[in-house]
Amino acid sequence: MDAVRPEAQAAPYWRSTGGKLLLKRCKACGELHHYPRPHCPFCFSAETEWVEAAGQGTIYSYSVTRRGAEPYAIAFVTLAEGPTLLTNIVDTPLDTIAIGQPVDVVFRDVDGVAVPMFRRVPPG
């Protein structure tokens, strides 16, 4: 899928395999943002840096698409660090997904690119 072929500035984001999820932080105002940009969308500083997120968050909202061959869950996950990102919930029974659930990141291959998705944190 051509859509996931990253532009050059975001290449580190798409290399963030092996359990690493990267965010951008503004060196001027300190805010984290997603999706990653070379500039800060809050103060427009051009000085930003990559930082590693812990990979944990909670489900802000979700929707299970049931039309089509195989149902799947799209979600907004709010990371512990603050930013909310669009993703899929995987490795989790679809009918048990709920807003507020803790999730952690897993990487899935989408047409040769490792893409961050999330699964429900196993109980205990």
Q: Which of 23, 40, 77, 85 binds Zn ion (CB under 5 A)?
A: 40
Residues 6+ apart with CB under 8 A from 72: 64, 65, 88, 94
CA-angle at 85, arms to 69 and 81, nearest 5°: 145
Q: Which is nearer to other proteins, 114 or 121 (CB)?
A: 114
Would you count residue 26 as binding Zn ion (CB under 5 A)?
yes
Q: Which of 55, 57, 83, 120 binds other proteins (CB under 8 A)?
A: 83
Q: Which of residues 5-24 bind other proteins (CB under 8 A)?
A: 5-7, 10, 14
Q: Comparing C-alpha atoms, which of 81, 82, 75 is closest to residue 101? A: 75
Q: Which is nearer to Zn ion, 53 or 75 (CB)?
A: 53
